[in-house]
Structure 1
Amino acid sequence: MSTVAPRTDLAECAEIFRSLVESRRAVRRFTAEAVPDTVIRDCLELAVLAPSSCNLQPWSFHVVRNPDLLQQLQHVCLGQSAAKAPLIIAVLAHPNTWKQACADVLRLWPEPAVPKAIDHFYKNSAPFQYNQGWMGWRGLLKRQMVRLIGLRSPVMRTPNSLEQMRLWAVKSTALAAQSLMLAFQSYGYSTCPMEGFDEKRLKQVLPIQKGAIPIMLLAVGIPGERAIYNPRLRFPLDQSVSWH
């Protein structure tokens, strides 16, 4: 059954959330103190509560604690200081798992019976939307169809190509990654999302599924000395926000 948080103590909740978000910084140096498995698992459980397109959850996580693998990942991450963390989580987006995900939604539906509308959506509408066909040939046809339909009425125009499927998966996975960082922050563990790494060598170190997109390597741990290099800088809000 769906639940909604009661509208009580909202000001206090907002203040706690603001404090959590403002305290999160990209930490570059960590102590050697390990992150407990119970904390890691709980943070991952919170991360996968993130929203995803059609609830297809196109993400996966490789949790690396093994010292030998961590040593190899330092090389993969070009020797940057954050890669010396006691925990690194590879966050992956999966543009090709939509078919299995559709089946899993129906298999794991949290009620005794799957509603007819839900069953129809995941057996018909979602496959039509996400199946781009071999080498993207279905996507090509759908793009032509969308152009024609869109002349008369609003229509969902993406994803209608293999490249758009990559973007689709990355967008949802990025939401989970942000939730994961905030979850660790709530436990007192800092993070650093690393995009500077050799993707080819990463696939030589970790058994990454074919077609998966590594979007970041997340370093996690207790901040060490000189953990934050620079003061926080953000552009003025009005520079990026338009009010209508």
Structure 2
Amino acid sequence: MSPEHPATPQALRALIEQRRAVRRFTAEPVPDAVIRDCLELAILAPNSCNLQPWSFQVIRDEQLLQRLRSVCMGQQAAKAPLIIVVLARPDCWRDSCEQIIAQWPEPEVPAPIRHFYSKTAPFQYNQGWLGWRGLLKRQLVRVLGWRRALMRTPNSHAQMRLWAVKSTALAAENLMLALQSHGYCSCPLEGFDEVRLRRVLEIPRAAVPVMLLAVGKPGERAVYNPRLRFPLEQRVEWH
């Protein structure tokens, strides 16, 4: 953080409180420079082992947007001038390990870093064909876990999907707040037909569509209802 321009709790609270799920947008396009800046902030999100298991598809083409509206079952928010498809990528761990070593931002890769991404991470994340490695690791965890605490997951292809989705969701929140800071609103859409989405867009088979993010300037009656959040005491335990 720059000491000349420190972030303040008040500024952060104002930004978060401004963010609402907007359902109606104007036709005003979102500049490419704004999209790029927001995506750069999205990928600064914390993520598991810095493997960055996400990818994004930026849809501005009107024909594709029209097709995506039917994929989203005609939701009003899907009429936005921009849709960003947020994908979790449980399949990218191997490539990410190699890229981290190749692109390390110092002249020499520290030995612990090289060992982790060439040995430890591949053991942890490689589930094997049909998950056979994961099955063996689950048995190993049951034995070793009797004596000490250890990382017990991900040890299956299903757990790998969850692993990637958690990090991707953090990036999606960064993306929404970044857009809000530029004066553009968003609406995360989970109501879509994944089978039809894959017919419209070239999405890698192993990728998990987490959400379609509708983006633009708010139109009339953009927010449908007042905000409702449950009292903090209803969802928080203090120890």
After TM superposition, the score normalised by the length of structure 2 is 0.98
How far, CA to CA, are the matches of 1:153 and 1:75 in structure 2?
51
Secondary structure in 2 aligned to 1:61? Answer: strand
Decide which of 22, 30, 53 is 1:35's aligned counterpart: 30
Find the counterpart in structure 2 of residue 232 from structure 1.
227
> Counterparts of 2:194 and 2:157 in 1: how far apart (Å)?
20
Q: Structure 1 residue 55: deviation in Å?
A: 0.2
Q: Which runs of 4+ in 1 moved over 3 A?
A: none
Distance across 2 between alignment mates of 1:241 and 1:112: 46
- Counterpart residue number, 1:138: 133
Counterparts of 1:56 and 1:225, CA distance in 2: 41
Question: Does residue 182 of the first structure (1) align with residue 190 of the second (2)?
Answer: no
Equivalent in 119, 124, 128 of residue 129 of structure 1:
124
Alpha-carbon displacement from aligned partner over 1:126-158 (angstroms, at most 9, x marks no partner): 000000111111111111111111101101111
Q: What is the rounded CA distance, in whole Å, between the counterparts of 2:110 and 2:161 in structure 1?
A: 30
Residue 153 in 1 paired to residue 148 in 2? yes
Tell me how far 1:211 sits from its aligned partner. 0.6
Aligned counterpart, 1:198:
193
1:59 aligns with 2:20: no
Q: Unpaired runs of 5+ in structure 1?
A: none
TM-score, structure 1 as length reference: 0.96
Instruction: Summarize deviations over 1:152-193 as a string: whole Å, max 9, x none.
Output: 110111101111000000000000000000000000000000
Does residue 14 of structure 1 match 2:19?
no
Question: For structure 2, which runs of at least 5 residues remain unmatched after alignment?
Answer: none
Distance (whole Å) between structure 2 residues aligned to residue 171 and residue 213 of structure 1: 11
Work out the number of aligned pairs and report it.
Answer: 239
Q: Distance in 2 between matches of 1:77 and 1:227?
A: 18
Q: CA deviation at 1:5?
A: 4.9
Shift of 1:23: 0.3
**Residue 89 of structure 2 corresponds to residue 108 of structure 1:** no
Aligned to 2:202: 207
- Measure the CA separation in 1 of the matches of 2:145 and 2:208: 31
The alignment-based identity, stated in percent, is: 67
CA gap of 1:220–1:143, structure 2 versus 1, over 3 A, is same
Code of the residue aligned with 2:10 in structure 1: it is E
Secondary structure at the counterpart of residue 227 of structure 1:
coil
- Paired amino acid for 1:44: L
| Alpha-carbon displacement from aligned partner over 1:188-208 (angstroms, at most 9, x marks no partner) | 000000000010111111111
State how far apart, in whole Å, the 1-side matches of 2:72 and 2:142 are: 43
Secondary structure, aligned partner of 2:8: helix
* C-alpha separation in 2, matches of 1:9 and 1:204: 46
Deviation per residue, 1:188-244 (Å, 9 max, x gap): 000000000010111111111121000000000000000000000001111111111
Offset of residue 74 of structure 1: 0.4
- Residue 20 of structure 2 aligns to a residue whose secondary structure is coil
User: What RMSD in Å do the two structures reach over aligned CA positions?
Assistant: 1.1
Q: Aligned AA for 2:103?
A: L
